[in-house]
Structure 1
Amino acid sequence: MLLSDVAAELNVSDSQVYHMVRSGELPAIKIGGRGQWRVERAKLEEYIQHKYAETASWVRENPLNERDADLP
């Protein structure tokens, strides 16, 4: 997938996806003479599942308090 496709899938900016790839957070390959980035759909799905698990862990470790319960 193109980085722009990944950005659309995650509903984030192209530059956010580029940073995720360059930091190693999201696995990708660089191909072609101009060195264009591509993300394999399976790797994106793995990344999304990892983020679900990471978020669930964070929620368990940071329970709502009364003040948070009042927020919309």
Structure 2
Amino acid sequence: MDDSDDAALGRFLTLADTAEILAITPAEALELVRSNELPAIRIGTSHLWRVERLVLESYIEAKYEEARRLSLWEQSDFGNIPELSGGRILRPEAHRSSEPRD
């Protein structure tokens, strides 16, 4: 999306615009709003949802940061400790073929 597209859309985005930017369906965008994951407001007499452009940009940046941190965690030495990883082992240890078997 270039600067001319930004000017055409304005400060507030419809859920359809938001869905297009995120490459999801409008129903998925509505679910993000209803779950309070993506902040939005209702505007006008029809009370349609609107997402502020800056809020959407912040949401996208936060998702990138979340993905970066998860990746770093999974690469860490602590990522395979169930107590620290929400009860799941993220990197199971490989079986060693050189170990003697019973």
Normalised TM-score (structure 2): 0.60
Normalized per residue, which structure has more helix?
A: 1
SS of match in other structure, 2:55:
helix
9-18 or 54-63: bigger deviation: 54-63
Which consecutive residues of structure 1, in runs of 5 or more, have no partner in the other structure?
66-72
> Identity over aligned residues, as a percent?
41
- Describe the superposition over 1:36-62 as per-residue Cα deviations: whole angstroms up to 9, x where unpaired: 000010000000010000000111122
Q: Within the alignment, does 1:38 sit opposite 2:50 as a pair?
A: yes
Q: Which of structures 1 and 2 has the larger relative contact order (alpha carbons within 8 angstroms, sep 6+)?
A: 1
Distance 1:56 1:44 in 2: 18
What's 1:62 paired with?
Answer: 74
Unaligned 5+ runs, structure 2: 1-12, 76-90, 92-102
Aligned length: 64
What TM-score comes out, normalization by structure 1 length?
Answer: 0.83
Structure-2 separation of matches of 1:25 and 1:15: 14
The alignment's C-alpha RMSD in Å is: 1.1
